[in-house]
Structure 1
Amino acid sequence: MLNCKDTTKLLSQQQDESLSFRKRVALRFHLMMCSGCRNYNKQIDFIHKACQRFSGKN
């Protein structure tokens, strides 16, 4: 099972590249149980989308 440090690393990595099936499953499992990492995921997703809009890339 992933800890929060590994989860945040994978969430950041996921913004730039595809993760393996195993990593995606482990990530989803951790996110189901950890509200702190769910909040972090929402925040980096918002920042990533804002940066894409600002740079003109959709």
Structure 2
Amino acid sequence: MMNCEQATQLLSIAMERKLNLKEQAELKVHLLICSGCRQFGQHVQQLRSIVRATKNSSDTPEEKK
């Protein structure tokens, strides 16, 4: 069975690449029983959204005053 360290590592890796079926299944089982890792996963997703939004807003030129 996957421990929390392995689960959080996979949650982070999942931001960079698609997990294989075995990784997905093991992570899903762990997340079903571990609220701490579920919460960590939600925080990682939120941070990623914030970074993307910030990056997108900095890609547009600012209006000249």
User: What TM-score range do you get, normalising by the shorter chain?
Assistant: over 0.9
Question: Which protein has the larger Cα radius of gyration, Structure 1 or Structure 2?
Answer: 2
Matched residue type, 1:36: G
Count of aligned residue pairs for this structure pair: 57
Partner Cα separation in structure 1 for residue 56 and residue 13 of structure 2: 22
Partner of 2:61: none
- With normalisation by structure 2, the TM-score equals 0.84
Runs of 4+ in 1 over 4 A off after TM superposition: none
For residue 6 of structure 1, report the CA deviation from its aligned partner. 0.3
SS in 1 for 2:41: helix
Any stretches of 5+ residues in structure 1 without a counterpart?
A: none
What does the per-residue CA deviation read over 1:7-37, in whole Å, with 9 as the maximum and x for residues that have no partner?
A: 0000000011111000001000000000000
Partner Cα separation in structure 1 for residue 33 and residue 15 of structure 2: 21
Percent sequence identity is: 28
SS in 1 for 2:19: coil
**Backbone CA RMSD of aligned residues:** 1.2
Partner of 1:56: 56
- With normalisation by structure 1, the TM-score equals 0.93
SS in 1 for 2:40: helix
Is 1:43 aligned with 2:16? Answer: no
Greater fraction helix: 1
